[in-house]
Amino acid sequence: MTKVLLIDDDVDLTTLLQEYLTEEGFEVTATEDGRAAIALAVANTVDIIVLDIMMPHMNGIDVLQRIRRLSAIPILMLTAKGDDVDRIAGLNLGADDYVSKPCSPGELAARLKAILRRSGSAVAGAVPDLLRAGNLVMHPGTRAAEWRGKPLDLTGTEFSLLEVLARQAGQLVSKQDISKHAFGRPLMPFDRRIDVHLSSIRQKLGMREDGQSWIQSVRGHGYQLLQDR
């Protein structure tokens, strides 16, 4: 069973989500203690984390930052509705997705399953495929990547976004298509997660010799992964 860790001090919401996710086939552990959550994440005792931003003693941003220093475990944030500051901060620090509170248990379960599909390992015995785009080599089966011959450290969401661009390297890919292929759903109005995650990927790839970013944006249209000259 997939092990989910709920980190939230809202007892009523946590109880509701725990009951629903258990019925959906998840094994759920709940805590409101950020330090305990960090220990569980680092010890690899859970498969995915649902993390509330607003918590006593240690807020969710601090918990996220400490976990990301030690683990690439998938993390879905719970944010206050309309709170773009926390949302963007979380995505910049490596969160894989977010859901605004109040949220339905069904939506949360669907988001968790989508993240797990994106970050899942290859099926046992399967031969992972290989994707090459210039200096970039990606292994979708194992979710590993190399850039210029060295390992490229990507979160699950970053891997999914870069894979979409790599499969169409040299071509402009609309944000709508990126969202559908990377997140499995249409792009919603005012949703900036693609921009935030791609900004992080740009930093990891560095600059071209001509001073340009390897990932070009065309305002209002989409993004393009440049090919080697």
Q: What's residue 174's pLDDT?
A: 93
What is this structure's pTM? 0.59
Cross-strand bridge partners of residue 28: 4
Q: What's residue 121's pLDDT?
A: 39
Q: What is the CATH number of domain 3-119?
A: 3.40.50.2300
Question: Would you state the structure tokens that stand for residue 101, as one six-digit string?
Answer: 């509170």
Q: What's residue 224's pLDDT?
A: 95
Q: What's residue 148's pLDDT?
A: 93
Q: What's residue 192's pLDDT?
A: 83
Task: Quick: pLDDT tens for 153-187.
Answer: 998 788 889 989 998 999 999 998 888 877 767 78
For the chain, 229 residues long, give each residue's pLDDT as a single digit of tens.
789 999 988 888 888 889 889 988 899 999 888 888 888 888 878 899 999 988 877 888 999 999 988 888 899 999 876 667 877 888 888 888 888 887 778 888 888 988 888 776 333 333 346 889 999 999 876 678 999 999 999 987 888 899 899 989 999 999 988 888 777 677 888 788 889 999 999 999 999 988 999 999 988 789 999 987 5
Name the H helices within 139-227: 156-167, 175-183, 193-205
Task: Quick: pLDDT tens for 47-75.
Answer: 999 999 888 778 889 999 999 888 888 99
Task: Examine domains 3-119 and 131-225 and report if their fold is the same.
Answer: no
Under 8 Å CB-to-CB from 122, ≥6 apart: which residues?
128, 141, 142
| Cβ 135 vs Cβ 147: under 8 Å | yes
CATH class of 131-225: mainly alpha
SS3 category, 89: helix
Q: Residue ranges per domain, the chain? A: 3-119, 131-225
What CA–CA distance (Å, rounded) separates 139 from 144?
Answer: 5
Provide the 8-state DSSP code for 109. Answer: H
Q: What's residue 184's pLDDT?
A: 65
